[in-house]
């Protein structure tokens, strides 16, 4: 009697594809006003400009002696954080758009492979569980917080 091992079917999605799908999904989430008439980078750059204008406005209004000034400081901090996160996501999207660099990025992400697979699996089950419980905003925020440190290595 011979025993045959069953081959487990591995998906053809490598780390490069996983990160690219996560980045693309995050970029679309960051730009809900995106129209199919435009490229996603056009819409993302418009959103980036809006964050920049908000930063400038709230920075000019900062005054720790008033409640509105304190609110402006908090709003400035949030606009600044959103600006820098979106900037990193845009840059990562641009880097990962070059298909010729697949081997380079697969090599680059080899130490983070398990973390990327965990994020990707979570994203794959997003519509099943997260949407059912109406936790979309928290999911996208948590995904960005886990993804941003990986993206800072690309620059």
Domain-by-domain residue ranges, the chain? 15-30+37-99+126-151
Q: Which two tokens stand for residue 73?
A: 């400081």
Mutual angle of helices 67-96 and 136-151, in 10-degree steps:
60
For the entire predicted model, the pTM comes to 0.82
Three-state SS annotation for the chain: CCCCCCCCCCCCCCHHHHHHHHHHHHHHHHCCCCCCCCCHHHHHHHHHHHHHHHHHHHHHHCCCCCHHHHHHHHHHHHHHHHHHHHHHHHHHHHHHCCHHHHHHHHHHCHHHHHHHHHHHHHHHCHHHHHCCCCCHHHHHHHHHHHHHHHHCCCC
Q: Which of 151, 124, 154 shows the shortest CA–CA distance to 139?
A: 124
59 HSE (CA, 13 A, CB side): 8
- State the average pLDDT over residues 36-52: 92
Reply yes or no on whether the pLDDT at 99 is more than 70. yes
What is the pLDDT confidence band of residue 27, given thresholds at 50, 70 and 90? very high
Residues 107-123: tens digit of each pLDDT: 888 889 999 999 999 89
Rounded CA separation 155/153 (Å): 6
| Res 1: pLDDT | 47
């Amino acid at each position: 009697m011979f025993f045959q091992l069953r081959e487990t079917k591995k998906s053809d999605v490598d780390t490069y594809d996983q990160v690219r799908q996560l980045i693309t999904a995050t970029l679309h989430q960051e730009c809900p006003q995106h129209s199919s008439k435009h490229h996603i980078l056009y819409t993302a750059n418009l959103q980036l400009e809006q964050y920049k204008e908000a930063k400038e406005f709230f920075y000019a209004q900062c005054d720790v002696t008033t409640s509105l000034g304190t609110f402006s400081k908090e709003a400035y901090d949030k606009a600044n954080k959103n600006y820098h996160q979106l900037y990193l996501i845009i840059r990562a999207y641009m880097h990962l758009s070059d298909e010729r660099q697949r081997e380079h990025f697969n090599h680059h992400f080899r130490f983070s492979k398990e973390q990327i697979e965990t994020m990707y699996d979570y994203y794959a089950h997003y519509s099943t569980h997260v949407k059912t419980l109406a936790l979309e905003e928290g999911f996208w925020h948590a995904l960005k917080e886990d993804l941003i440190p990986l993206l800072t290595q690309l620059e």
